[in-house]
Amino acid sequence: MKVAILADTNSGIHTPDETAGLFVLPMPVIVGENTYYEGENLSEEDLCRYIERGDRVTTSQPPIGLLIDKLDSLLGAGYDEVVYIPMSSSLSSSCNTAKMVAREYDGKVHVVDNRRISVTQKDSVMDALYLAKKKVSGKKIVRRLEEEGLNCTIYLSVSSLEQLKNGGRITSSAAAIATVLNIKPVLTFRGEKIDSYGKVRGSMYRAQLKMIDALHKDVDRRFSDIAPERIRIGVAGFGIEEEERDRWLELAANAFPEAQVRYDPLPASIGAHTGTGAYGIGVSVDMKK
């Protein structure tokens, strides 16, 4: 069976690799009354500019027609099955919508709900590509990814609460107090919902240290029986300078010297709500090792 792997841009993947069987569905971002598509006519720089000038920015699931067209084109191009890996169903209705669409394809389309987004979702895509290359069926790929789905964690901190306030995620009074006290919240996501992990006062560097400390505890407690080289650490950011990206990556690499460590931009679906100056870090386990 020839299996295509379809991701959405919530994974941080914007460019398809058709020779490897990887394809990408762009996620829509609404700016005012205009709809843009991440990775096609909307870059991170564009989105930062819209946010900083005060435009109303919201996100949405992909239009059903766009998903159907993509599935039809893949099955018409010689693929026997498609495995679609969207963002977590706990964060968007796009996963459940895709499952509804998949029922019309007589078992040729499989939708993964392994409760991931951003760097850990990208890890799932890489695992799926590995399994597809090994000639594993679409149904079995879904089972493997969903079995491992919650075997990950993400931590996130933001420089400003303004965009969270604008999106109704926090109250204006809470945002004002945090700004006056120079508080940086640290949030965590383990597949179900985004929760508060803690907070720090002062610089973003202190928030980064808190996130790395939290991740160390996760690795020691949840992944102690996993070989260090199988641990994947993804650091991410939105609206930060290249120098800051390099510093953030170096900080994580020094903290986890035996792990696989990389940098990816936060997807628009997160950046639209966090605003610029957001930092994240996630951990998962590599199936290939």
Nearest to 3 by CA among 106, 149, 128, 143: 128
152-285 in CATH: which number? 3.30.1180.10
* pLDDT given at position 176: 47
How wide is the angle at C-alpha 25 spanned by C-alphas 21 and 62, nearest 5°?
A: 150
Q: Looking at the chain, which residues constitute the CATH 3.40.50.10440 domain(s)?
A: 3-27+62-148
* pLDDT given at position 83: 98
pTM of the model: 0.92
Domain covering 3-27+62-148 assigned CATH 3.30.70.20 in the classification: no
* pLDDT given at position 177: 46
Q: Looking at the chain, which residues constitute the CATH 3.30.1180.10 domain(s)?
A: 152-285
> Splitting the chain (289 residues) into consecutive groups of 10 residues, what average pLDDT does each group show?
95 94 96 95 95 91 95 97 94 92 97 95 97 97 95 89 55 49 80 83 93 95 93 97 97 97 94 91 91
